[in-house]
Each structure stands twice: as structure tokens, then as C-alpha cells.
Amino acid sequence: MIVLVVIALGGAAYWWLHQPLQMTGAGTQALELAIEPGTTPRGVARDVVAAGVNTDARLLYAWFRFSGQDRAIKAGNYEIPPGTTPIGLLRKLARGEEALRALTLVEGWNWRQVRQALAREEQLRHDAATLTDEALMAQLGRPGVAPEGRFFPDTYTYAKGSSDIALLRRALHAMDRRLEAAWAQRAADTPLKSADQALILASIVEKETGKASDRGQIAGVFTNRLRVGMLLQTDPTVIYGLGEKFDGNLRRRDLQTDTPWNTYTRAGLPPTPIAMPGKASLLAAVQPDPTRALYFVAKGDGTSHFSASLDEHNRAVNRYQRGQ
């Protein structure tokens, strides 16, 4: 009888371990489970039940202890999808397979747009929201550095409840690596004096490029202008200098209104980037296409017409901008 009872109990335990846990509610929504640091295995079992798993917390705790992995359970934020078995649950908790969200920082975004994107992420802890730009950059280890353009545009995953500062630190270091790699490949005759100047030029190229195939030539035009001392005269820098005052319509008076970023009124590169450049724009800034062009104008189809002389440029403007 004892042997039969042991076999029956063993069979029941095996069956329970391989059966999907019953969850509160219907549908296919996963349950959210938050395990705080320092929670005991017994407390974890209670937290699982409190999250909406319909089972006995004592039974779960016994499974944790019997498996020998009770001390391997890691704190974090987890999702328990329908169909999860007790074996699968413990495996997830012991491996620390937290539920991850994703945030995409888009090429060409400015810092204001990055701030807005972070604020929309409800699962992030918004530690940066209370900090000024200066205080935030100091906390990231870059005191005195403007945040504009310093974060690499990419998709970043994060666990629920993690800090937005931690995500920004990853994006900052990613840009450091990308910029360092691009600067190491710079052309021997580049007029750029530093990697920071390359970042600034790359941000302008990012905003000016409508067609990827034109990126190298656009970088070549600005490189030529820097080399001969011409004003860059690029509209995106003027728009950036206007900030929130820009209403979508760039007027002649805007081009004549001096700001630190107005490349119609000030020579050389602006003091900071104007957006986040991607990898292609970083490389174009340091390895521009060889070209004699000093001018370009949008053709209306996403591409640009490039000109080596002012007369040719004026004819292109008449054709593509004025319909003459």
C-alpha cells in the first residue's frame, strides 16, 4: 500500500509539474509578476498566487525547494503567459528572463523628441524627467556636454521599472563607439578637426538627406564649403535654432535672424549637433563622395540636383523650385 501511495503521489506531482497553471480571468493576456530584491522563495510563491495564478502557494514553494533552485530565483519584472507550467515558471525565474519592452530612437530626432519618447514609455522609471539637461549629462558622466546628438538612434530593450537614465547611458555609449569607429576611418584630407565636428556635420547630413543615395554627395558639398570657407547655408540648422518657434514655414526673415545655429549668418559648423545621426551619416561625414559640387537643391522627388557653380545652381532652383 505504501509503495502504491508513493507511486500515486509521484504520478500526481509529475502531472502537476507538466500541466499549465490556471490563471485568473480569460483570454490570452499574460500575468505580470514583480519580485522585489530580498524576497524569500516562500514569498515568491505567494507573489505568484497574488499575481493571479490559481494554485496553492505552499505547493509552489514545495516545488521550488524540491528542485534545488529556490535560491537561484532572481528579482525582477516577469510576464507569465497562458500555458506556463510550474517547470517553465521556475526556469524563467531562475534564469532571470524578465519581460522586456522596446523603445526606438529614430535617426534624425532631436533631443526634445527623445525626451518626449521617453516620457511616453509608461513602463520606464522616469528619473531623467526631473533633471535639467545639464544635471542629466553630469549624471551620465559628461558634464558640460550638450545632449543633442549624443545618443545613437537604435531600438533598445528594457525591463519594466528600469530607469530611463540607464537606457540613455546605453544609447550614449553606443554613439561613442559608432563615432569613434567612424572617426578612425576619416579621409586624410578632411577639413574636420575632431570627432565632435564629425558628429555635428553628420547631424546636418542626416537632416538634409532625402534619398540615401545622395547622402555621400550632400556630405561632399558641405565638406567642400568648409574647405574653401563658404557659409554652409543649410536650412535645418536655422530651423533648429528657431526651436519651438518654428511653425513649419521657413521665411526669409528666419534666415536673417541670427542664432548660434544659423549657418546663413555664422561661418563654419554650429556649436552642437542638430539631431541624432545614424551610422550612414556618420560615415558620410568623414568619407564624403568626391565631388566638385558646392550647391544642391531638392528636386521634389526626394533626390537632389548638385551643382559646381552658382549659375548652374540658380538654373536648377528655377527648374525644380520655381517651375521655370
pLDDT at 322: 77
CATH of the domain at 28: 3.30.1490.480
Q: Please check whether residues 296 and 208 belong to one and the same domain.
A: yes
Count of other CB atoms within 10 angstroms of residue 57: 17
Which pLDDT score is estimated for 4?
A: 60
* H or E segment to which residue 76 belongs: strand 76-80
User: Are 238 and 297 in a shared domain?
Assistant: yes
Domain with 81 in it: 13-95
For residue 222, is it within any domain? yes
In this structure, are 88 and 104 located in the same domain? Answer: no
* 8 domain residue, yes or no: no
Domain boundary residue among 95, 118, 152?
A: 95
195 residue type, one letter: A
Same domain, 90 and 107: no
Cell (9 digits) for 281: 551619416
Residue 241 lies in a domain: yes
- Whether 176 contacts 277, CB under 8 Å: no
Is residue 2 assigned to a domain?
no
Q: What pLDDT was estimated at residue 28?
A: 62
Residue 70 lies in a domain: yes
Does 162 fall in a domain? yes
- Note whether 201 and 173 are same-domain residues: no
Q: For the beta carbon of residue 139, count every other beta carbon within 10 angstroms.
A: 15
In this structure, the answer to whether residues 23 and 85 fall within a common structural domain is yes
314 and 261 together in one domain: yes
- Burial class of residue 132 (count of CB atoms within 10 Å of its CB; 0-12, 13-18, 19+): exposed
**Are 228 and 309 contained in the same domain?**
yes
User: How much is the pLDDT for 183?
Assistant: 98
Examine the fold and report which residue of 74, 95, 116 is the final residue of a domain before the chain moves on: 95
Question: Are 192 and 317 in the same domain?
Answer: yes
How far apart are the C-alpha atoms of 26 and 99, rounded to whole Å? Answer: 21
Q: Would residue 6 count as lying in a domain? A: no
DSSP-H helix ranges across the chain: 2-17, 41-51, 57-67, 86-95, 111-120, 133-139, 164-184, 195-208, 215-228, 235-242, 252-256, 279-286, 310-320
**Series of mean pLDDT values for 10-residue runs along the chain (324 residues):** 62 81 75 89 94 92 93 90 92 90 96 97 94 97 97 94 94 97 97 98 97 96 97 97 91 94 97 98 98 93 93 92 72
Find, among 212, 220, 307, 226, the residue nearest to 268 by Cα.
226
The answer to whether 164 and 118 are in contact (CB under 8 A) is yes
Residue 3 lies in a domain: no
Assigned C-alpha cell, 121:
514609455
Domain count of the fold of the chain: 3
- 192 and 302 together in one domain: yes
- Indicate if 222 and 201 belong to the same structural domain: yes
Partners of residue 306 on adjacent β-strands: 296
Residue 26 is predicted with a pLDDT of: 53
| Domain edge (last residue) among 125, 159, 180 | 180
* Model pLDDT, residue 24: 82
3-class state of residue 104 by DSSP:
strand
CA 306 to CA 322: how far, in whole Å?
Answer: 17
Neighbour-count burial for 234-259, b at 16+ CB within 10 Å, e otherwise? bebbbbbbbeeeeeeeeeeebeeeeb
Asked whether residue 122 falls in the same domain as residue 59, the answer is no
